[in-house]
């Protein structure tokens, strides 16, 4: 029977819980103005709510397409119901008590904070296994003050990023578990769940597999951890895929999500590792190396068979050159560090570098199993930092992995400073340590590296955010339900705030809709007329100052977007009266005789 934690640990855990509650209360206060209008930080959050509403409204569990995107075809999606479940569950639970709208709002506000609580628990357990109660508590405090992590857990931040960070940290718990078999199962299950949510887990699955294989090779006592990890990762991936996507998903090929391409190599990894471990054993380092090589090699061979175009092709290349250039390459969170500004580059790297320095220093100061754990963390942190260098939005996982080392380093430096005989050194040195925290590092670097921006340079960014607010979109509610030819970044908020449909949103599987929107706004008016006329759109929508509209106008100064930005309207569009940044144009269509006809709104 497992023993209860010591009283000191229980008190420390209570302080960590209180820190989470305080952080949640602060964020509720800071973001309270967004609640009444569902002012989502990111269009993906709005799309997530649209997906949850459709599911609650009767859409099939395995059908995650958005049928109000590019009707009648619909917008195909690859999102997971795992992320939808707590939002839908809480909304349904509270609906009889407070009504549908209020229940939905509470779910959107509460679920991110609950996920943050899960992350706090996971980090506390992992850091405590590494370094004890003190560094674990300090690691939680650093977590709850780290902007690069908290940004994914603010109220209304209901997309899948918070899940990814939490599951990565749960996987870290398994690596630090003193019971190898249990630890391998925890790590494998966490990665198996993460893979169902996003294919962004694939490099981390490879990273954890390599790290655990290395430790298995070095130490025979760690073989159960590696074998259990491989077994549960492959053993759970296939049934979870069938459960969450449907039985046919196991034979569907997609490069942007867990599918036939990736799930069968994981199954082969599990089978080959278990059989090789059983037949060859772990009596020597050579035998252990052969077991790992057989498992990994079999998975690689299987991937070469199942991969097809996913082996070398970019899953976004199918968008076509125009959409690829004017949409995909503009999404900076998915771009590598060398395409970011100097300030963002420092924000990505500095917390990870300090955490790695602390991790290596902690490893040097210990020995035996404790040193092995710190070195494992150093390896995982290095790999996670490499992923964040390639994809900026992965930075949060690297920064979480950096927290135990940063906490250990801060406590070690604080103890050294306090041993000084000079009061000035003790006070100034202690205060200076704030600069080594993630928040301090990022703030200091941004202050040094950022260039002052002229007011005009900042205005489009503010306008872009305002164009998605409920007050700006409100005039659309006066129209009968129709299909709108609107900028793709406004699409999800239009779906949430109104009864309308849209042609495209920033979700890459809807290649036709995205391409139509971009071509329609970039093409010259007569070519744009043909593109827009080929859709079911009844109205064209633009918004003054929207970054997306400005990008289209810049791409073709003689295109439709540039023309509308200058206040000029082609004869096949009829401006509707209205004030504010939102502009609505009714599309005039021609019948076979060439007469101009006002379009009848497409009723849903």
Average pLDDT over residues 539-565: 93
320 with 217, same domain: the answer is no
pLDDT at 598: 40
Give the model confidence (pLDDT) of 185-234 as tens digits: 999 999 999 999 999 999 999 999 999 999 999 999 999 999 999 999 99
- In the predicted structure, residue 182 carries a pLDDT above the cut 80: yes
pLDDT of residue 225: 97
User: Which domain range does residue 427 map to?
Assistant: 316-451
**pLDDT at position 415, please?**
87
Q: What is the pLDDT of residues 149-165, one digit of tens each?
A: 999 999 999 999 999 99
Helical spans, DSSP H, in 249-391: 260-280, 285-306, 321-326, 342-365, 368-390
Range 509-522 average pLDDT: 93
Whether 591 shows a pLDDT value over 80: the answer reads no
pLDDT single digits (tens) 431-464: 888 888 999 999 888 888 877 655 544 444 444 4
Looking at residues 330-344, what average pLDDT do you find?
88
Q: Do residues 301 and 223 share a domain?
A: yes
> What pairing do the DSSP bridges indicate for beta strands 501-502 and 483-485?
parallel
Distance from the first to the final alpha carbon of the chain? 60
Amino acid 5: pLDDT: 67
Report pLDDT for 454. Answer: 52
At 431 the pLDDT is 81
Residue 595: predicted pLDDT: 35
Q: 165, 396 in Cβ contact below 8 A? A: yes
The CATH number of whichever domain residue 534 belongs to comes to 3.40.50
Q: Which among 312, 331, 358 is the end of a domain?
A: 312
Does 183 lie in the same domain as 230?
A: yes
Q: For residue 4, what pLDDT band results from cuts at 50, 70 and 90?
A: low
User: Quick check: is 129 in a domain?
Assistant: no
Burial letters 359-368, b for 16+ CB under 10 A, else e: bbebbeeeee
Residues 177 and 300 in one domain: yes
Judge if 584 and 465 occupy the same domain: yes
Total structural domains within the chain: 3
CB 450 within 8 A of CB 521: no
State whether 233 and 339 are in the same domain.
no
Q: Which of 576, 221, 139 is nearest to 399 (CA)?
A: 139
In a domain, 384, yes or no: yes
Mean pLDDT taken over the chain: 90
pLDDT at site 453: 56
Cis check for the bond before 327: say yes or no (omega within 30 of 0).
Answer: no
């Amino acid at each position: 029977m497992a023993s209860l934690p010591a009283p000191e640990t229980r008190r420390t855990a209570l302080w960590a819980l209180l820190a989470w509650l305080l952080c949640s209360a602060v964020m509720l206060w800071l973001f309270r103005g967004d609640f009444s209008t569902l002012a989502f930080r990111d269009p993906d959050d709005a799309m997530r709510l649209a997906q949850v509403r459709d599911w609650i409204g009767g859409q099939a569990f395995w059908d995650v397409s958005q049928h109000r995107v590019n009707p009648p075809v619909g917008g195909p999606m690859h999102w997971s119901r795992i992320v939808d479940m707590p939002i839908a569950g809480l909304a349904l639970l509270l609906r009889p008590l407070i009504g549908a709208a209020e229940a939905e709002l509470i779910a959107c506000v509460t679920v991110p904070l609950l996920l943050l609580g899960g992350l706090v628990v996971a980090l506390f357990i992992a850091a405590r296994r590494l370094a004890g109660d003190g560094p674990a508590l300090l690691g939680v405090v650093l977590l709850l003050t780290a902007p690069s992590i908290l940004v994914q857990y603010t109220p209304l931040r209901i997309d899948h990023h918070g899940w990814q960070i939490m599951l990565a940290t749960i996987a870290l718990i398994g690596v630090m578990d003193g019971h190898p078999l249990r630890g391998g199962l925890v790590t494998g299950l966490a990665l198996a769940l993460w893979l169902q949510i996003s294919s962004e887990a694939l490099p981390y699955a490879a990273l954890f597999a390599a790290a655990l294989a290395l430790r298995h090779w070095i130490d025979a006592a760690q073989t159960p951890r590696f074998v259990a990890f491989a077994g549960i990762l492959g053993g759970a991936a296939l049934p979870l895929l069938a459960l969450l996507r449907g039985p046919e998903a196991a034979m569907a090929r997609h490069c942007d999500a867990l599918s036939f391409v990736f799930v069968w190599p994981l199954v082969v990894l599990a089978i080959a590792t278990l059989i090789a471990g059983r037949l060859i054993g772990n009596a020597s380092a050579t035998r252990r190396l052969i077991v790992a090589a057989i498992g990994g090699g079999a998975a690689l061979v299987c991937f070469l068979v199942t991969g097809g175009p996913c082996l070398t092709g970019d899953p976004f290349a199918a968008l076509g050159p125009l959409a690829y250039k004017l949409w995909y390459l503009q999404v900076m969170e998915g771009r590598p560090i060398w395409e970011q500004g100097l300030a963002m580059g420092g924000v990505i790297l500095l917390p990870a570098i300090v955490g790695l320095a602390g991790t290596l220093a902690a490893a040097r100061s210990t020995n035996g199993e404790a040193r092995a754990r710190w070195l494992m963390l150093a390896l995982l942190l290095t790999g996670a930092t490499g992923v964040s260098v390639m994809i900026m939005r992965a930075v949060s996982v690297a920064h979480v992995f950096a927290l135990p080392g940063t906490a250990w380093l801060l406590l070690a430096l604080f103890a050294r400073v306090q041993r000084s005989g000079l009061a000035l050194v003790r006070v100034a040195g202690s205060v200076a340590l704030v600069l080594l925290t993630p928040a301090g590092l990022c703030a200091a670097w941004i202050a040094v590296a950022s260039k002052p921006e002229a007011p005009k340079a900042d205005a489009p960014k503010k306008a872009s955010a305002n164009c998605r607010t409920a007050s700006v979109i409100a005039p659309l509610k006066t129209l009968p339900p129709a299909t709108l030819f609107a900028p793709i970044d406004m699409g999800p908020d239009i779906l949430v705030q109104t009864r309308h449909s849209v042609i495209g949103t920033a979700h890459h599987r809807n290649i036709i809709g995205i391409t139509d929107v971009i071509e329609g706004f970039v093409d010259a008016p007569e070519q744009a007329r043909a593109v827009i006329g080929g859709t079911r759109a009844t109205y064209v929508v633009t918004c003054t100052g929207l970054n997306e509209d400005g990008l289209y106008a810049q791409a073709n100064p003689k295109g439709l977007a540039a023309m509308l930005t200058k206040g000029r309207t082609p004869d096949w569009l009829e401006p509707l009266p209205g004030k504010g940044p939102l502009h609505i144009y009714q599309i005039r269509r021609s019948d076979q005789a060439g007469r101009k006809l006002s379009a009848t709104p497409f009723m849903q």
